[in-house]
Amino acid sequence: MGAGEGDAAAGNKEKGAGGGVDRTSLDGVRDKNVMQLKKLNTALFPVRYNDKYYHDTIASKEFSKLAYYSDICVGAIACRLEKKEGGAVCVYIMTLGVLAPYRSLGIGSKLLNHVIDLCEKQNIPEIYLHVQTNNDDAIAFYKKFGFEITKTIEKYYKNITPPDCYVLTKFIGQAATKK
């Protein structure tokens, strides 16, 4: 995993579904439009992502989406499907971000709800991500969707301060009652 993968939300301040959701559409990440994701990531995150990140994003198919507001690419969620011990699949959110002028319009919520809904439909019991420990906005955002801090990892990030992160996890379906 490259340094910084999992820099989720980047201070995303969603305040629920606003008028922006009506003008928002989602599209899959493919070879033909992956450059839009690269440009978004450059604007949103303090790290550069390697080719594996983009390969994993495209390979996740429906789990990674670009968000368009009035036909302008303004946000994205990039996920990776992972196999856990015992063979169960879980979803790792590598990044979720929305450009600052388009926050508080429900776009980040729409992206995250898309992934949560897919997990429910496909019986995927767990979604998790890493968030920098000082990213209070992102932590609050994910907690609204039922994510909880399940672990702290010291020195996770190599070139940003603070270097520590939280692992936030959402358990879905039966996994939510078993945890």
Catalytic residues: 92, 130
117-128 burial, b at 16+ Cβ within 10 Å, e below that, comes to ebbeeeebbbbb
Quote the longest CA-to-CA distance of the chain: 44
93-115 burial, b at 16+ Cβ within 10 Å, e below that, comes to bbbbbbbeebbbbbbbbbbbebb
- Reduced to 3 states, what is the DSSP secondary structure of residue 62? helix
Looking at residue 147, the DSSP 8-state letter turns out to be -
